[in-house]
Amino acid sequence: MCGIAGIFHLETPKPVDPARVEAMCDALAHRGPDGHGIWTAPGVGLGHRRLSIIDLAGSPQPMASLDGRAMLVFNGEIYNYRELRQELKEAGASFRTDGDSEVILAAWQRWGPDCVSRLHGMFAFAIYDLDARTLFLARDRLGVKPLFLAPLSDGSLAFGSELKALLAHPLLRREIDPLAVEDFLAWGYVPDHRSILKGVTKLPAGHSLLLRHGVPMPRPSQWWDVSFEHRHKGKAADLEAELLHLLRQAVSSRMVADVPLGAFLSGGVDSSSVVALMAEASANPVRTCSIGFDVAALDESAYATQVAQQYHTDHASRLVSPDDFEAIDVLAGMFDEPFADASALPTWRVCQLARESVTVALSGDGADEALAGYRRHLFQYNEDRVRSLLPQGLRGPVFGALGAIYPKADWAPRPLRAKTTLLSLAGDSAEGYARALAVTSPELREGLYSDTFRRLRGDYRAEQPLFDVMRSAPARSGLDRAQYADLKVWLPGDILTKVDRTSMAVSLESREPLLDHRLIEFAAALPESMRVHGGQGKWLMKRTMRRFLPEDILYRPKQGFVTPIAQWFRGPLAQTARDIAASKTLARTGWFDTRRLTMLVDAHLSGISDNSRLLWQLLMLEKSLAGLGIG
């Protein structure tokens, strides 16, 4: 796990100043405190910050191929590198190190751009081929590892693991993209199809980019996708056995490390499953860590302790006060772009705890997206059944009219929020799912914006890219399309961004075994009844893990990390809420109706409505703009 950065001149191969590459890498020092290196040649510069995990002394980067014809910088882990190494040796390759970095170089020299399809792991890397004078950039299938790109005014392309690296380059323009603001206010993060800064892009997950001097930059090429078009036909018992095999394979392959390794343990199904399979594969006690809250309604630590005791793990637990808002400034600085998933705060705290004893931690991320574990998947499944019974010509006018007049009930569980359900049923499957995912509805955003911002935004709406993904998905059903959108948009934009930034902020490598692509592909072909069944999501996974975990772990209501922002904004952060409405930074943008902001703050403080998620978004936006030196 590391940080990479570089500069490539697309036109004339001008000299690259090593100091610029070094400054970009210095901005990523937290990602790689164990080593650093810079390499330049005409028209190209590569930089690396290393967090040593495998072959601690023998794989410094930038790394040259054995024949000196290719140079690599790499962030991530290749879990099948030993098998690939043997295959390449049998084909005539030689190796001087014991790590996975040199395997990528040898794979590139044998298979060229097709090498990525043979790599099982999480990665973002750059290879400069000195013979072909090309730069090859690639990102892993699910987008576990990030890669930011920015064309610059001198004809070069800058790239780096975080926006911080690009911000260290003096030629980067710091102009906010208003479409990214619309995206952020809709979803609570800036999706991978955009960046907060105009001109900055992100290499999409499962894509690569091959650049040549003197040739205009092409569009990224997709090298992997997941399909929901097919269905397994086996019996439940056979599919259960296959799922267990894939789970074991995914977990054991991610336990290879030359440094202390452990796992996050929340006490939920996913992290408990990972820990159970780690314990099965390990001769020594697994190191686990969890955090609890000093508010009983938010605390899951007892369940984590239960699993830790069952598997005799070396368990560390820490109680964290939910009143942890003093860390907000530090948290906002980790992400560069505005990021309003409030669970980032406890995620960062558990990463800090893990880093006290390990350098690598396995997480349970990915199972909800792959196996339909979110409540919204159940709603989507049920709502699509209703949609199939009534034509759009009837649903739209009837449910739309009812939804428009029905009172908003922020306080109620979603099944009782009839307004949300009615508006969802009024649209098609994609429109309904967009409402389920959105932090702020289109109506709320529209009332928030000023006329100035509406002109800047034009006809664009944040939901449109999600509609496009869902409507063109290789899928059979609305549930398929929802899960496909989760894997393509929500997962890389929110979940994996959160885990990458909070773990790397403390120089911790997080690995996600439940995002093994073979497991993802298997899950995508499961019949809907083996994903959603009897009012339960992740049905086949829970059935599979019955021999490992008790029922109160498998079947209790899903909770996850919770941050009490609604209480914060009515208590210790009440003044902060008032300050948002009067923010000079936000006012200078001219994007918002300040009277509307004041009304939303007053309504929240008085308890009339819960506007805490929107207030948190605006707070994160304000802090992000300040961090970027804008406003």
| β-bridge mates for residue 212, sequence order | 134
Q: Which residues contact 117 (CB under 8 A, 6 or more apart)?
A: 223, 224
Q: Where are the beta strands (DSSP E) in 492-535?
A: 509-511
User: Taking a C-beta distance cutoff of 8 angstroms, is the pair 619, 583 a contact?
Assistant: no
Radius of gyration of the chain from Cα atoms?
24
Structure token pair of residue 322: 């939910």
CA dist 185 and 430 (Å) reads 19
Structure token pair of residue 331: 């948290």
Q: Write 464-469 long-range contacts (CB < 8 A, 24+).
A: 465/191, 465/193, 465/489, 466/430, 466/433, 466/434, 466/437, 467/430, 467/431, 467/434
Q: Angle between the 269-281 and 236-253 helix axes, to the nearest 10 degrees?
A: 70
CA dist 90 and 110 (Å) reads 12
* CA distances (Å), origin 505, targets 14, 71, 148, 345: 34, 27, 17, 12
Q: Which residues contact 358 (CB under 8 A, 6 or more apart)?
A: 259, 260, 261, 262, 287, 508
Neighbour-count burial of 407, counting CB atoms closer than 10 A to its CB (0-12 exposed, 13-18 middle, 19+ buried): exposed
For residue 363, the Cα-to-chain-centroid distance in whole angstroms is 13
User: Taking a C-beta distance cutoff of 8 angstroms, is the pair 68, 59 a contact?
Assistant: no
DSSP 195-211: -SBTT-EEPPTTEEEEE
- Per annotation, catalytic residue among 2, 25, 115, 351: 2
Structure token pair of residue 340: 């309003």
User: Taking a C-beta distance cutoff of 8 angstroms, is the pair 77, 121 a contact?
Assistant: yes
Order of all β-strands in the sheet with 70-78: 63-64, 70-78, 121-129, 134-139, 207-212, 221-222
Structure token pair of residue 402: 């009812």
User: Taking a C-beta distance cutoff of 8 angstroms, is the pair 15, 41 a contact?
Assistant: no
CA dist 412 and 158 (Å) reads 47
* CA distances (Å), origin 70, targets 108, 125, 319, 419, 596: 9, 13, 49, 58, 57
Asked if 2 is an active-site residue, the reply is yes
CA dist 520 and 577 (Å) reads 41
Reduced to 3 states, what is the DSSP secondary structure of residue 265? coil
Catalytic residue ranges: 2
